[in-house]
């Protein structure tokens, strides 16, 4: 498997058909429910930025600006409204509807009119990686590969697509979520494809779970003696599909990316410690904020402790509450919670308050000479 060294200069594809990108932002996000009952999992924020946007930024940084995004009927409109036409990223975004979650290869099939005969990166929209795409793109272009996959050793390969490779990095076998894995090398959700992948997809059948699997299509390329290779992904790789993964991603991004704001508008009774960013229009009153922390715009933070690795989105109200290592989404309200909130994700417009005390009725039968203390 090839080891990547940082490239001095990325070689972009200079062929007649320039490189495109396809980002998958469909799916039901069942592992992040209840947040994804009402929104797309790829729009859940990490350090106050939608997960999807990190992928877009990484692709644009690699010089690819013609991007298609696969959307679902349930959440597609929200993705379009939130992400826009791509101009904020320096890209052109085309939205492609996949009516049902019928597999990654099916998504490529649906996107064929957009992709045409261009080589492309396929990027799963709920993935976050630390390193640049440039060196992988350089290998893909220089070696004129039919497919390049990124791999990472994992302790639980049965939960992933798994690859078996030879000592030179050539891929021998791919299996989707095998009961008996041929290796511990999981497929990271980033792929580089030549147009030959389309013919391979046309030749495969749905898997037992009823989906067109991209692993089957790549295996078809392998069977046809096409040039399929793998690279080892260094640095962190985060699949944000579950709550704990989301919190881990939030911690890592805050640790590596947050820089302390030079001007923080807080009252004289408040204390800011460490790397903290606070958005415009936010009031911090009689509170302590210990970074790394990011707080969005137009929030009200009063009589609170905001602990490390917390992200608070726009228009959040927090009064008489303590949080740490948590993600609070837009418009949430937390008032009068006198126990510290930790390792939590609070959804958009959610309200967390203490119920008013209820009158208690006490009924006793107490024997002679007893002593009772009520606490």
- For residues 9 and 142, the model is more confident at 142
Beta-carbon-side half-sphere exposure of residue 174 (alpha carbons within 13 Å): 27
Q: What is the CATH number of the domain that holds 128?
A: 3.90.550.10
What is the C-alpha to C-alpha distance for residues 257 and 249, in angstroms, rounded to an integer?
A: 12
What is the C-alpha to C-alpha distance for residues 141 and 194, in angstroms, rounded to an integer?
A: 10
Its domain, for residue 269, covers: 258-353
Last residue of a domain, one of 227, 249, 271: 249
Residues 127 and 101 in one domain: yes
Residue 26 falls inside a structural domain: yes
Last residue of a domain, one of 215, 249, 283: 249
Chain centroid to Cα 281, Å, comes to 28
Residues 177 and 278 in one domain: no
Residues 232 and 285 in one domain: no
Which of 46, 100, 31, 57 lies closest to 246 in space, CA to CA? 46
Q: What is the mean pLDDT of residues 16-43?
A: 69
Q: Among the residues of 124-213, which ranges form H helices?
A: 134-142, 196-202
Residue 6 falls inside a structural domain: no
> 187 pairs with which residues across the strands?
151
Residues 51 and 195 in one domain: yes
Residue 5 falls inside a structural domain: no
Residue 243 falls inside a structural domain: yes
Task: Please give the pLDDT value at position 33.
Answer: 46
Which of 294, 295, 260 lies closest to 275 in space, CA to CA? 260
Q: What is the mean pLDDT of residues 35-56?
A: 81
Last residue of a domain, one of 249, 275, 306: 249
- What would the pLDDT profile of 235-286 be if each residue is shown by its tens digit? 888 776 677 888 988 999 999 888 887 678 889 999 999 999 999 999 999 9
Percent of the chain with pLDDT over 70: 88
Residues 176 and 324 in one domain: no
Total of domains in the chain: 2
Residues 279 and 307 in one domain: yes
- What would the pLDDT profile of 79-125 be if each residue is shown by its tens digit? 999 999 999 999 999 999 999 989 999 999 999 999 999 999 999 99
Number of H helices, E strands in the chain: 8, 26
pLDDT over 60 at 181, yes or no: yes
Residue 373 falls inside a structural domain: no
pLDDT over 70 at 8, yes or no: no
What is the C-alpha to C-alpha distance for residues 334 and 195, in angstroms, rounded to an integer?
A: 51
Residues 338 and 200 in one domain: no
Longest dimension (CA), the chain: 98
**pTM attached to this predicted model:** 0.84
**Contact 36/29 with Cβ under 8 angstroms?**
yes
What's the chain's average pLDDT?
Answer: 87
Residues 25 and 109 in one domain: yes
Question: Which segment of 34-38, 204-208, 299-303 scores lowest on mean pLDDT?
Answer: 34-38
Residues 244 and 97 in one domain: yes
Task: Please give the pLDDT value at position 167.
Answer: 79
């Amino acid at each position: 498997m090839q080891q990547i060294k940082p490239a001095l200069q990325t070689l972009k594809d200079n062929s007649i058909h320039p490189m495109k990108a396809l980002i998958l932002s469909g799916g039901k996000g069942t592992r992040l429910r209840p947040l994804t009952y009402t929104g797309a999992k790829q729009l859940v924020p990490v350090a106050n930025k939608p997960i999807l946007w990190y992928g877009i930024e990484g692709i644009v940084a690699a010089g690819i600006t013609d991007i298609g995004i696969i959307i679902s009927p349930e959440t597609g409109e929200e993705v379009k409204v939130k992400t826009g036409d791509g101009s904020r990223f320096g890209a052109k975004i085309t939205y492609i509807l996949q009516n049902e979650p019928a597999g990654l290869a099916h998504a490529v099939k649906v996107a064929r009119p957009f992709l045409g005969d261009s080589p492309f990166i396929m990027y799963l929209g709920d993935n976050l990686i630390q390193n640049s795409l440039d060196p992988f793109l350089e290998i893909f272009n220089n070696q004129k590969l039919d497919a390049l996959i990124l791999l990472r050793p994992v302790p639980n390969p049965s939960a992933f697509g798994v690859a078996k490779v030879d000592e030179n990095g050539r891929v021998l076998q791919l299996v989707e979520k095998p009961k008996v894995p041929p290796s511990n090398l999981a497929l990271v959700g980033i792929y580089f494809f030549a147009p030959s992948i389309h013919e391979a997809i046309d030749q495969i059948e749905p898997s037992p779970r009823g989906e067109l699997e991209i692993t089957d299509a790549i295996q078809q390329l392998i069977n046809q003696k096409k040039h399929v290779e793998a690279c080892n992904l260094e640095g962190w790789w985060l699949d944000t599909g579950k709550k704990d993964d989301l919190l881990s991603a939030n911690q890592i991004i805050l640790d590596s990316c947050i820089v302390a704001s030079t001007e923080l508008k807080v009252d004289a009774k408040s204390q800011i410690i460490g790397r903290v960013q606070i958005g415009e229009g936010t009031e911090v009153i009689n509170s302590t904020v210990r970074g790394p922390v990011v707080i969005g715009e137009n929030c009200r933070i009063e009589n609170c402790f905001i602990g490390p690795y917390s992200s608070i989105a726009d228009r959040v109200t927090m009064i008489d509450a303590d949080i740490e290592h948590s993600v609070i989404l837009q418009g949430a309200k937390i008032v009068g919670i006198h126990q510290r909130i930790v390792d939590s994700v609070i959804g958009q417009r959610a309200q967390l308050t203490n119920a008013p005390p209820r009158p208690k009725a006490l009924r006793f039968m107490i024997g002679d000479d007893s002593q009772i203390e009520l606490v």
